[in-house]
Chain A
Amino acid sequence: MTTTAAPTPGVRKPVAWRRIALHLGCLAALLVMLYPLAWLLSTSLKPANEVIASLDLLPSHLEWSNYKTALDGVNDVSVWRLLTNSLLIAGGAVLGNVLSCSLAAYAFARLRFRFRGPLFAFMIATIMLPHHAVLIPQYIIFNQLGMVNTYWPLILPKFLATEAFFVFLIVQFMRGLPRELEEAARIDGCGPFRSFFLVILPLTRPALITTAIFTFIWTWNDFFTQLIYLFSPDKFTLTLALRSFVDASSTSAFGPMFAMSVIALLPIVLFFLAFQRFLVEGMANSGIKG
């Protein structure tokens, strides 16, 4: 995991300066990059008259009432309700993706069946397929089924392995597992199902965790699908509730709006802090092993 490019000992001396400059550069870049997030946090605690026209990051006093207002929610729907809705959708999506994508991935990675090559190619191609090409008919289907303005259109597709990116990710991981394991399991009398559940799935855990975390964050952040399928305020997610602030052209309630934004970001931030290794490595692995 450490880099191999260690320069020859003779060239060491000037490198110290370069290293310091590099760190300073990185820190400066980070400062600029993280400024919007710091701004968000500080603005969520600022009194109304300081929000605009003040460059100071620190509020003159902490205005906790912004959060109190935010907790009341939007359109008479409390933040707790919105939070529950968001969690329900994200949780359902995680369960669906982990289950269905790992099943499909196992077939592609390990089992043989007719048309495997073409089907695999098709699966990869759907990663590039713009969502909009299937969007309207999907909407019509869910509309016919009476599922518009319910959570089904947001959750059901995940149980059908429609996010090929994750199938691909898990396939890549499963290919790295030694085949002898399943051969041993087969000799011990395991069929494909038992060896999948008892042998392969536990070993695939890192890929499954990556899938779960990414699904959670992407679903949580997703705006477009929720915008299309949900329209009664009590079904809204946090993301969708924030939308009502988009329409208002002159918002006087900047403080509460950004307090709510902070609440909406909190789960992602927590996920990020807890799982950043999985996230970063999952992202890295998705790219280079193809």
Chain B
Amino acid sequence: MTTTEIPAPARTEKTTPVKRPGRQREGAAWVFLSPWVLGACVLTLLPMAVSLYLSFTDYDLFNSPKWVGLRNYTQMFTEDPRYWRSVGATLMYVVIAVPLQLGLALVVALALKNMKRGRAFYRSAFYAPSLLGASMSVALVWRALFNEGGTVDNLFGTGGWIFKPGWALVTVALLTVWQFGAPMVIFLAGLQQIPGELYEAAEVDGASRWRQFLSITVPMLSPVIFFNLVLQTIQAFQVFTPAFAVSGGKGGPADSTLFYTLYLYDRGFVASHMGYASAMAWVLLIVIGAVTAVLFRTSRSWVFYASDTEGGVR
């Protein structure tokens, strides 16, 4: 498991142009690539272009698209309160779910890190909800547990969170937080790559555990924290199944769980406003792109790559 590769491909080979013996080797590469190229063109690039075009039209899937210019966008931003409610719900959900999930994942990973016995067991057991939790089955369980008369109500007297606009969102967020196993596993793998000598040296210098955490663990783990942050944020923006299940497919109560994708589905596939839904999809694409870009930009100040100083350990 030593990885001395450079992430970007072909830095070394790029300098040797077409001189290589076989032209047919290049041909072979395209044969290997052909399914992917076909998929990228027909199922990614072409649809992206089409959806951009459709976002400027009125289209119901049956009649041909009518060009309406920016109307979908202006309607979305100025005349559709439900759109803004879906934006609000999604942002709120991202802000609640992602930090809690990652925080929990990190805490558990730290707890398991130095464990001699039982680590493999805990690792798998904590990971299990990440696989099961994405299913409709578990979403239904969640709905029942947080329902009026459900376990959570019985224990804490909440009176059924899924009926309360302020709490329904929290219920869905908790389902996501519950699935902290996937980022936890990645954290754990990252923690294991931090050389133990660093901690030994810090111990000798008399650094407290907290100090060690701040000065060794966080910087050494920062690329992994960054990776998890980007991945989970992008995923959180697209949450669908749990909201659909918890709210009965409607995004209720009072639109509090009307997540962006739920509303997009509603506009496009229930109300047949494909043009409007396409406009929504493009705004989502831009927002996710922007958020990712911002994360990448800020990462320069807090993500520490060992290769920056040591010349490429990973």
Q: Residue B140 contacts which of A55, A106, A117, A246 (CB distance < 8 angstroms)? A: A246
What CA separation (Å) do A120 and B9 show in the bound complex? 8
Task: Report A-chain residues with C-beta under 8 Å of the C-beta of B96.
Answer: none
- Tell me whether A192 and B39 are in contact (CB under 8 A): no
- Tell me whether A134 and B44 are in contact (CB under 8 A): yes
Task: Report A-chain residues with C-beta under 8 Å of the C-beta of B145.
Answer: 36, 39
Smallest CB separation, B1 vs chain A (Å): 7
Interface string of B216-239 (1 = CB under 8 A from A): 000000011001101100100110
Which of B69-77, B78-86, B148-156 touches A? B148-156
| A128 close to B (CB within 8 Å) | yes
Q: Residue B26 contacts which of A23, A113, A196 (CB distance < 8 angstroms)? A: A113
| A88 close to B (CB within 8 Å) | no
- Tell me whether B39 and A128 are in contact (CB under 8 A): no
Task: Report B-chain residues with C-beta under 8 Å of the C-beta of A6.
Answer: 196
Task: Report B-chain residues with C-beta under 8 Å of the C-beta of A4.
Answer: 195-196
Can you show 30 pairs from A to B with CB atoms below 8 A apart?
A3-B196, A22-B111, A52-B150, A55-B154, A106-B32, A107-B30, A112-B25, A113-B26, A117-B8, A119-B33, A122-B40, A130-B284, A136-B47, A140-B50, A161-B35, A162-B39, A175-B5, A176-B5, A192-B25, A196-B32, A224-B240, A224-B261, A227-B244, A245-B140, A261-B136, A265-B137, A277-B124, A283-B127, A287-B224, A287-B231
Interface string of B27-57 (1 = CB under 8 A from A): 0111111011011101110111011001000
A residues near B (Cβ < 8 Å) are: 2-8, 19, 22-23, 25-26, 29-30, 33-37, 39-40, 43, 52-53, 55, 99-100, 103-104, 106-109, 111-114, 116-117, 119-123, 126, 128-138, 140-141, 143, 157, 159-162, 167, 171, 175-176, 191-193, 196, 217-218, 220-221, 223-224, 227-228, 239, 242-243, 245-247, 249, 254, 257-258, 261-262, 264-265, 268-269, 272, 276-277, 279-280, 283-290
Smallest CB separation, A140 vs chain B (Å): 7
Q: Residue B241 contacts which of A25, A43, A224, A265 (CB distance < 8 angstroms)? A: A224
Which has the most chain A C-beta neighbours within 10 Å: B1, B128, B131?
B131
A160-B28 contact, Cβ under 8 Å, with A280-B127, A287-B190: no
- Tell me whether B39 and A157 are in contact (CB under 8 A): yes
| B7 close to A (CB within 8 Å) | yes
- Tell me whether A3 and B44 are in contact (CB under 8 A): no
Task: Report A-chain residues with C-beta under 8 Å of the C-beta of B167.
Answer: none
B residues near A (Cβ < 8 Å) are: 1, 3, 5, 7-10, 13-14, 20, 25-26, 28-33, 35-36, 38-40, 42-44, 46-48, 50-51, 54, 61, 108, 111-116, 118, 122-129, 131-132, 134-138, 140-142, 144-145, 147, 149-151, 154-155, 178, 182, 185-186, 188-190, 192-193, 195-196, 199-200, 203, 223-224, 227-228, 230-231, 234, 237-238, 240-241, 244-245, 248-249, 261, 264-265, 268-269, 274, 277-278, 280-282, 284-285, 288-289, 292, 314
Task: Report A-chain residues with C-beta under 8 Å of the C-beta of B1.
Answer: 176
Please name the residue on chain A nearest to B46 by beta carbon: A137
Task: Report A-chain residues with C-beta under 8 Å of the C-beta of B118.
Answer: 23, 26
A40-B141 contact, Cβ under 8 Å, with A112-B20, A246-B244, A287-B189: yes
What CA separation (Å) do A39 and B145 show in the bound complex? 9
What CA separation (Å) do A167 and B142 show in the bound complex? 33
Chain A binding surface SS class: helix
Nearest 8 pairs of A and B residues by beta carbon:
A160-B39, A4-B196, A137-B47, A287-B186, A284-B189, A261-B137, A104-B36, A137-B50
Task: Report B-chain residues with C-beta under 8 Å of the C-beta of A103.
Answer: 32-33, 35-36
- Tell me whether B136 and A100 are in contact (CB under 8 A): no
Q: Residue B124 contacts which of A157, A175, A276, A287 (CB distance < 8 angstroms)? A: A276
Smallest CB separation, B185 vs chain A (Å): 5
Task: Report A-chain residues with C-beta under 8 Å of the C-beta of B155.
Answer: 55
What CA separation (Å) do A160 and B151 show in the bound complex? 45
A39-B151 contact, Cβ under 8 Å, with A29-B108, A138-B43, A140-B50: yes
What CA separation (Å) do A157 and B38 show in the bound complex? 10
Smallest CB separation, A74 vs chain B (Å): 12
Smallest CB separation, A227 vs chain B (Å): 8
- Tell me whether B43 and A223 are in contact (CB under 8 A): no
- Tell me whether B125 and A30 are in contact (CB under 8 A): yes
